Structure 1
Amino acid sequence: MHPFRAAAEAGDRDAIEAMLADDVVFTSPVVFKPYSGKPVTAAILRAVLRVFAGIRYTREISDGRDHALLFEAKVGDLTISGCDFLRTNDAGLVEELTVMVRPLSAAKALAEAMAAEFAQVEREAREVAAAPATAD
């Protein structure tokens, strides 16, 4: 089982964020322009975990650094099906995450629910980006 899948199913926001490369690129199923960087991607994924209910992965396909994780979840009363396409870097961190979903009715519901979350997403991303770096 891919660790991203395990973390998403468990709703483990910290584990998901730890798997993201600093320069990760996230391509949304409902927004044309990709988002770049760990702060905004992590904030978006936290919002997705608030919007999705009962996320469950049904199939996993892996080929080296490329992974396809098929999932189902609820957005309100609608069942959404989708796929998380992950590409990992040499360190095993997610450097690209592309999400595709269906059917259209559920994708529209997802877009509406995420739009309602986006002020918080932007606030969280700004706070993380403005925070001083800490030494490990």
Structure 2
Amino acid sequence: MTTLYIPEAAAPAVKASLQLWHQMMEAHDLGRLREIAHPEAVFRSPMAHNAYASAEALVLALSNVIEVFEDFTYHRSFVSDDGLDVVLEFSATVDGRSLKGIDMIRFDEDGLIRDFEVMVRPMSGLQALGARMAARVGGSLPAFKAKT
């Protein structure tokens, strides 16, 4: 895994949270994710139309996906003008299928994750990811579906 540079334009609290995020990703252990997740965080999966609501949903999804991804690497990052939105570009493999994706993360002023959206391509990689995640969390993640 490549350690990602923390964007200079990110808000100070966001930089601190991103530093912890990258440390957790490097260690392959998201045990401290709750520290940077707002209790009302929203997780948006590339496999589902409706979002999943709560920090518990975010932790459940991301703690499992880190176990599914192989050869995970971050490549680039982008930050919004206000320093609260960060996009992290990544690549990985799932069951021999290569994929590329982005994590679009919205932080609040305290550096807590409010919204975490994942987009993945190509379809073959997304399908492999969806199948593996369904096997791991398919019975528990739907309980967190947000009402829209």
- Which TM-score tier does this pair reach, normalised by the shorter chain? 0.7 to 0.9
Q: Structure 2 residue aligned with 1:20, among 34, 37, 40?
A: 37
Point out which structure has higher relative CO (alpha carbons under 8 A, 6+ apart).
2
Q: Structure 1 residue aligned with 2:49, among 29, 32, 39?
A: 32
Question: Structure 1: which 4+ aligned runs deviate by more than 4 Å?
Answer: none
Find out whether 1:83 has 2:102 as its counterpart: yes
**How many residues were matched structurally?**
124
CA separation of 1:119/1:106 partners in 2, compared to 1, >3 Å: closer, same or farther?
Answer: closer
SS in 1 for 2:47: coil
TM-score (norm 2): 0.77
Higher helix share: 1
CA separation of 1:102/1:49 partners in 2, compared to 1, >3 Å: closer, same or farther?
Answer: same
User: What is the Cα-based RMSD across aligned positions, in Å?
Assistant: 1.9
Deviation, 1:6, is 3.8
The aligned amino acid for 2:136 is: E
Unaligned 5+ runs, structure 1: 127-136
Unaligned 5+ runs, structure 2: 1-5, 7-17
What is the percent sequence identity of the aligned residues? Answer: 30
TM-score (norm 1): 0.83
Instruction: Supply the distance in 1 between the matched residues of 2:138 and 2:51 (Cα, whole angstroms).
Output: 17
